Structures are given as structure tokens and as C-alpha cells.
């Protein structure tokens, strides 16, 4: 029983692409976690700034309470039992006293109750902030571990990718290159210009000649060679030089250009062969 052979080319490429995918996935998770950590830092800083701002405004309200109670105490002709600073307040609560003292005490109680409610909210915000800081610390610890894990995976991915690419190059590409080079050496040579008149085949009006069996000739154009023989077998190098000189003169080529182009005619295959047998 003959087992089918593995698609080695695809296998090597798969190994290389797998390694590259491992690198990209590792880098993606590393950068994603880094962005998440950065965002958490920004959120915590923003949250703490909001708490500090609210706390500052709340204690401004405490000083405003002191201002109000001072005004009422002067109006009622009694001592002010409330005092406040930027971080604390004190209040000598009156449980039994004159009507004026009880009135002032009731007013302070209502103001302080609102103040304490806001302070409770701020305290809860500080608790939430400390919880978030604890979660952030845990995330940082996990991120440090993930950095090591994903960095190792990325390094392994690089090794796998390089190994797959090297195996593909050695086992597939190099033999293909050698085979292509060998086939190219076996191909017949192809001239870039007509080896009789010197016209370049790259020009769209210059066509290659044909052999007697209809196959294309690789050296001569259709104006000089057709169906396996020269169109003008009796023409000589001198005649070709005269024709080319007339054509270049018509196109108004400079003298040094004409001299160079006419001089190149004798290097072409047809005239080299003719000169050998002269």
C-alpha cells in the first residue's frame, strides 16, 4: 500500500506561518495588556482627582456653615458652638438651653446632616478607589508574569518561523533555482537585435524571421530572414552599411552616432561569419 507523500512545500510554509502567527499573537496580547494597564492608571488618577476635588468642595461647605452660624449667633446674641477648618469641624451640641440656643442647634444639625451625607459619599468613593488600586496591583503582577510567558512564546515563534523558512529554502527553493538555471542553460540563445541589419526586436514593428518549418528564428528579423533563408542572400556588408547610412541621414542622426551604429554592423553574426569565410 502506497501512502501519499506529505505536501512538503506547504508543510514548510505552514511551519513558518505558524511561527509568525505565534509571534504576532504574543505581541498582540502584550500590547493589549499594556494598553489596559495604562488605561487603568489614567482611570485611577482621574478618580482620585475627582475625590480630592469633591472633598475640597465639601470642606468649603463646612466653612460656609461656620459663617452662617456666626451670623445667626450674633443675631441671637449667643456664642457660636460650631467651628471648622480645611480638614475638620467641631460642634458643641446643645441638648437643653434657651430657645435661641435650641434654634441655633437645630439649624446647625440640619446643615451638618447634609455635610455628613456628602462626607459619607466621599468616604465610600475612597473605599472604592482603594479596591480599584488593589485590583490594579494584582493586574500588574499578572502582567509581569504574562510578559515573561508571551516573550518566551514570541521567541519560540521566531525560532519556528526561521526554521520553517530555512527548511523551505533548502528543500524547495534551492532545488527549484538549480533546476530553473539548468533549464535556462539548455535553451537556445536569443538575440536582442537582428544579426543582419541591427534593428532591435524590442521595437513593436520589428518581427523575428521564421524557419522553413514555420518556427521562429532567434537571430534575424523578418525583413532579412524568412522561411529558412535570407531574403537577400547576395547582399554584402558594404551594401548594408550604405543602406544604414542613408537611413540614419534621413533621420538626421549626428555623425558620431552614425559612425558608431554603422561600426556595430560588422560585429553582427551574419557579417562575422561572412568575414571568416572571405
Per-residue pLDDT at 11: 84
In a domain, 257, yes or no: yes
Q: Is residue 256 part of a domain?
A: yes
Q: Where are the beta strands (DSSP E) in the chain?
A: 82-84, 89-91, 208-210, 216-221, 225-226, 229-230
Within-domain flag for 101:
yes
Position 273 scores a pLDDT of 62
Give the structural domain span for 56: 8-184
Q: Are residues 107 and 58 in the same domain?
A: yes
CB atoms within 10 A of CB 161: 19
| CA separation for the pair 24, 29 (Å, rounded) | 9
Within-domain flag for 197: no
Tally the domains of the chain: 2
Q: What is the pLDDT of residue 211?
A: 92
- pLDDT of the residue at 53: 84
Q: Are residues 159 and 221 in the same domain?
A: no
What does pLDDT average to in each consecutive run of 10 residues of the chain (278 residues)?
A: 51 88 91 87 86 80 78 76 72 63 73 80 85 85 88 92 90 86 69 89 87 91 92 91 89 88 89 53
pTM over 0.75: no
Kindly state whether residue 159 falls inside one of the protein's structural domains. yes
Asked, for residue 28, whether it belongs to a domain, the answer is: yes
Q: What is the pLDDT of residue 209?
A: 93
167 and 219, same structural domain?
no
Choose the final residue of a domain: 118, 149, 184.
184
| Residues 233, 177 within the same domain | no
Last residue of a domain, one of 118, 150, 184: 184
Amino acid at each position: 500500500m502506497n501512502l501519499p507523500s506529505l505536501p512538503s512545500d506547504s508543510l514548510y510554509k505552514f511551519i513558518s506561518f505558524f511561527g509568525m502567527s505565534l509571534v504576532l499573537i504574543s505581541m498582540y496580547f502584550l500590547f493589549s495588556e499594556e494598553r489596559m494597564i495604562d488605561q487603568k492608571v489614567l482611570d485611577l488618577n482621574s478618580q482620585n482627582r475627582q475625590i480630592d476635588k469633591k472633598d475640597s468642595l465639601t470642606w468649603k461647605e463646612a466653612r460656609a456653615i461656620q459663617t452662617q452660624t456666626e451670623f445667626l449667633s450674633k443675631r441671637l446674641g449667643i456664642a457660636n458652638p460650631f467651628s471648622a477648618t480645611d480638614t475638620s469641624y467641631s460642634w458643641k451640641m446643645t441638648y437643653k438651653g434657651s430657645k435661641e440656643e435650641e434654634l441655633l442647634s437645630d439649624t446647625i444639625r440640619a446643615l451638618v446632616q447634609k455635610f455628613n451625607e456628602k462626607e459619607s459619599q466621599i468616604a465610600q468613593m475612597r473605599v472604592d478607589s482603594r479596591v480599584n488600586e488593589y485590583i490594579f496591583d494584582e493586574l500588574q503582577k499578572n502582567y509581569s508574569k504574562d510578559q515573561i510567558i508571551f516573550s518566551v512564546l514570541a521567541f519560540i515563534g521566531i525560532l519556528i518561523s526561521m526554521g520553517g523558512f530555512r527548511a523551505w529554502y533548502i528543500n524547495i527553493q534551492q532545488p527549484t533555482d538549480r533546476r530553473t538555471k539548468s533549464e535556462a542553460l539548455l535553451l537556445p540563445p536569443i538575440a536582442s537585435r537582428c544579426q543582419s541589419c541591427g534593428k532591435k526586436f524590442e521595437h513593436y514593428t520589428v518581427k523575428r524571421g521564421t524557419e522553413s518549418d514555420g518556427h521562429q528564428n532567434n537571430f534575424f528579423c523578418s525583413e532579412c530572414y524568412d522561411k529558412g533563408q535570407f531574403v537577400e542572400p547576395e547582399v554584402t556588408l558594404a551594401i548594408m552599411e550604405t543602406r544604414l547610412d542613408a537611413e540614419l541621414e534621413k533621420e538626421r542622426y549626428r555623425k558620431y552616432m552614425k559612425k558608431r551604429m554603422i561600426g556595430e554592423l560588422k560585429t553582427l553574426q551574419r557579417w562575422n561569419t561572412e568575414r571568416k569565410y572571405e
